[in-house]
Amino acid sequence: MTPSRRIVGMSGALALAVVLVLSAYGLGSRNAADNTHATAERQLQIMALDLEAVLDRFDTLPYSVAHLPMAAELLASPQNGVLRGALNGTLQDLALQAKVAAIYLMDKDGNTIAASNWDSPQSFMGQNFGFRPYFREAIQGKPGYFYAIGNTTSIPGYFISQAVYPVGVKRGVGAPVGVIAVKITLNNFEQTWRSNEDPIVLTDRQGVVFLSNRSAWNYHSLRVLEPAVQQDMGKTLQYVGKTISPIASLPAPARSGFGEHIARPVGRLGWQLMLFPAQSKVVRAGLLSGAVMLLVLLVAAALGAGYYQRNRRLEERSAAQHALKLAADGLEQKIAQRTQELLSANTQLATKYEKLQQTENLLRTTRNDMVQAGKLAMLGQMAAGITHELNQPLTAIRAFADNASTFLSRGNVAQADDNLRHISAASARMGSIVGQLKGFARKSPEAVSVVDVNRAVEGAALLLHSEFARLGVWLDLDMHEALQVLGDTVRVEQVLINLLRNALDAVEQSPCKGVRLVLEAQEQQVLIRISDTGSGLPEDVVKHLFEPFFTTKATGEGLGLGLAISSSIVQAMNGHLTASNRPEGGAEFLVTLPRCGAPMP
């Protein structure tokens, strides 16, 4: 199939799918709308019958009360307090039994002279309701019906009224002398309707909502009211205190659901009971139908695509098998060629590795030789001091030996014995110095061991003691804790001697000659700080300080290898050596080494 024909076919299939989905949506929506409308009609019929039954049940109550002789007698003798009290009690009992809001008697001018709520704070007693339509109709001998908000209680209700005639006068023959009215509350219907998720309203003949399960809609109209209608409502105080505005003027969330509805007439006042079925159900049903159709089409498309892909895969498999055979033949040749190349590369790599090992061994040997040469050079620099250090005990030995010989010739054994003890102590000091020199001069072993840092510091200080004394430099050793690192004791001493000698050189011309060594411990590291009271390090020297053959000393006084060797030794022990100037003056070298927690030997 050519690409153009494939595009045309796919476009046609897509158009057909769209038509089927839209048709399913329309059919589902229509069916859902019909079902929703039928359900709403049944609900509305039940609610209308229930409301009609309540209204009809109380329709005869004011007619019956109007025939009470006490009502006509009180109208004839309105000042009779005993008769008024008896009628108030009777009306109160009737209201409780009939479960109505109030029953009250008005004279021909609309003044209330007896009421069931005579003893409540919102009593109708003394109130004039002559302006109400239900009074005007009843005083003319006709039954009165009206729904309004009570201007005394502010509680809305349904009012039914009947005329009261004098005792012995047949109804309809003479003029009424008063009116009996019954007030019924319909709030129970509003509470019952709240269980329905669709809006339900009861409107008067002008389209004003006075009862609804949507409280925001109450006392709003279905449409804009004419000024004359508004004026008439104001005269009767039907909705006293309420400004009637259309529901459409409410905010969008409050008027949600207002629109298409069904209605049934209720009662004698032209009321309309309305139900607004939720259109979302219709839309959901249509979407569901469309989604089902879409799912069916997708399944069909998937099956068709699967069948098409299966045929394509069979064709591709056949072509792939043929191509695989050709590739296998070529691959065998490439594998043989590649194997030969790998063998050749492996041989070259082995040769390079062997040369690398030889170079590494040469580098290690050269470094060790350089370290040893550095130690020997350092011993040469310390030779004068060490000679002086050994001359002192030798001179003391010679003097004490001569004295001991003299004391023995005189028979003074005690004095001779004391001189011999001095000779022994001087010999021990010489042995300590010679032993320290032998240990420092020997080649370091390759094995790593635990180094007592405190002992290494004391050894380095011992070898340099005579030079510090000769130059008049004080040495302050601050060591409060025994610390250990992994490495080589001799090399640690070599680093310390090198740094201490540099500090000696730095303070040689200083007015205050002092060197301080502080040993600090951190959780994972040991810090050795060596500071002096010299003039410090120039900024251009610090960045080259650890480079081989870099020195600030005069020609012949140093090769510039001491700090380079020291830095190399510290790095070999996984540490680092840094230098800086102190804020108060002088230089400071910091040796940082990994701490070892092994016990002392």
**Per-residue pLDDT, 481:** 87
Q: Which of 304, 321, 425, 405 is nearest to 9 (CA)?
A: 304
- In terms of DSSP bridges, do strands 220-221 and 209-212 run parallel, antiparallel, or are they unpaired? unpaired
**Per-residue pLDDT, 20:** 82
How does DSSP classify residue 129?
-
Q: CA 411 to CA 218: how far, in whole Å?
A: 139
Find the helix packing angle between 383-409 and 279-381, rounded to 10°.
50
**Per-residue pLDDT, 375:** 52
As a whole number of Å, the end-to-end CA separation of the chain is: 90
**Per-residue pLDDT, 241:** 81
**Per-residue pLDDT, 599:** 45
What mean pLDDT do residues 140-154 have? Answer: 90
516 pLDDT band, cuts 50/70/90, is very high
444 pLDDT band, cuts 50/70/90, is low
Q: CA 518 to CA 496: how far, in whole Å?
A: 12
Task: Determine contact, residues 281/31, Cβ cutoff 8 Å.
Answer: no
325 pLDDT band, cuts 50/70/90, is confident
Task: Determine contact, residues 213/190, Cβ cutoff 8 Å.
Answer: yes
Residue type, 530: I
**Per-residue pLDDT, 203:** 94
Would the CA dihedral through 312, 316, 319, 321 be positive or negative?
negative
Task: Determine contact, residues 563/546, Cβ cutoff 8 Å.
Answer: yes
Phi, psi of 276 (to 5 degrees): -110, 95
How does DSSP classify residue 481?
S
Q: Which of 521, 95, 24 is nearest to 293 (CA)?
A: 24
Task: Determine contact, residues 261/275, Cβ cutoff 8 Å.
Answer: yes
Place of tokens 């927690």: 597
Q: How far is CA 223 from CA 210, 228, 487, in A?
A: 14, 14, 99
Q: Which of 122, 110, 85, 125 is nearest to 164 (CA)?
A: 110
Q: Which of 266, 473, 452 is nearest to 385 (CA)?
A: 473
- At 244, list the tokens: 């009637």
Residue 444 C-alpha from the chain's centroid: 59
Share of residues in the chain with pLDDT > 70 (%): 85
Adjacent-strand bridge partners of 484: 452
Indicate the helix (H) or strand (E) that contains 263: strand 262-266
Q: What is residue 181's three-state secondary structure?
A: strand
**Per-residue pLDDT, 400:** 62
554 pLDDT band, cuts 50/70/90, is low
What mean pLDDT do residues 481-501 have? Answer: 88
How does DSSP classify residue 49?
H
Q: Indicate whether 601 pLDDT > 60.
A: no
Task: Determine contact, residues 426/400, Cβ cutoff 8 Å.
Answer: yes
- At 335, list the tokens: 């594998």
**Per-residue pLDDT, 591:** 95
Sequence length of the chain is: 601
Share of residues in the chain with pLDDT > 90 (%): 33
How many Cα atoms within 13 Å fall on the side-chain side of residue 435?
A: 7
What pTM, to 2 d.p., does this model score? Answer: 0.47
Residue 295 C-alpha from the chain's centroid: 39
**Per-residue pLDDT, 439:** 47
110 pLDDT band, cuts 50/70/90, is very high
Q: Indicate whether 600 pLDDT > 50.
A: no
**Per-residue pLDDT, 386:** 56
70: left (phi over 0), alpha (psi -120 to 50) or beta: alpha
Q: CA 206 to CA 236: how far, in whole Å?
A: 14
Residue type, 424: S
pLDDT tens for 167-219 read 877 776 778 999 999 999 998 888 889 888 889 999 999 999 989 988 899 99
Q: CA 532 to CA 282: how far, in whole Å?
A: 93
Residue 4 C-alpha from the chain's centroid: 54
pLDDT tens for 328-370 read 888 888 888 888 888 888 888 888 888 877 766 676 665 555 5
What mean pLDDT do residues 100-122 have? Answer: 95
String of DSSP letters for 207-259: -BEEEESSGGGTTEESSPPPHHHHHHHHHHTTTTT---EEGGGS-TTTTTT-S
pLDDT tens for 25-80 read 778 777 777 787 788 889 889 989 988 888 888 999 999 999 999 999 999 999 99
111 pLDDT band, cuts 50/70/90, is very high
> Residues with Cβ < 8 Å from 446, sequence gap 6 or more?
none
598 pLDDT band, cuts 50/70/90, is very low
